[in-house]
Amino acid sequence: EDQVTQSPEALRLQEGESSSLNCSYTVSGLRGLFWYRQDPGKGPEFLFTLYSAGEEKEKERLKATLTKKESFLHITAPKPEDSATYLCAVPKTGGYNKLIFGAGTRLAVHP
C-alpha cells in the first residue's frame, strides 16, 4: 500500500540549531517528491520538487535531499520565521496527478 511517513511529528529548536526532518515513502517507481511549508490558517506553499535519488535542492536555510526510500529536509541555522508545518508528498503508484501527503512535521524555532 502506498504510504508516506514523516518524522518527527513535532520538533522544537533553538534559533541557530540545525536539524533534519525525514519523509519516508513506499510507492512503486517514485516519479517525484514534493516538499511544502504550511503556516497556520493558510494553504501549503510549494518549496521543492525532487525527481531522482541523489538529487538535492536548496533555498535559503533549507536543503532537500532524496534517496530511494526517503527524503530529508535539512534546516541550517533556523530562525523563528522558519516555524511552520512541513509536508512532503509523492504521486501514488500509477497516478501521475494523485498525491499522497504525509501528516507533516510541526517545527517551532524559538529565539
Partner 1 sequence: DVKVTQSSRYLVKRTGEKVFLECVQDMDHENMFWYRQDPGLGLRLIYFSYDVKMKEKGDIPEGYSVSREKKERFSLILESASTNQTSMYLCASSLGQLQPQHFGDGTRLSIL
Cell output for 6: 514523516
CA distances, 7 to each of 33, 34, 51, 96 (Å): 16, 16, 21, 25
Give the nearer residue to partner 1 in terms of CB position, either 45 or 56.
Answer: 45
Give the nearer residue to partner 1 in terms of CB position, either 31 or 74.
Answer: 31
Give the nearer residue to partner 1 in terms of CB position, either 78 or 102.
Answer: 102
Q: Is 41 helix (H, G, I), strand (E, B) or coil?
A: coil
Asked whether the beta carbons of 26 and 38 are under 8 A apart, the reply is no
What are the residues binding partner 1 (CB under 8 A)? 31-32, 34, 36, 41-46, 49, 51, 87, 89, 91, 96-99, 101-104
Minimum CB separation of residue 7 from partner 1 in Å reads: 14
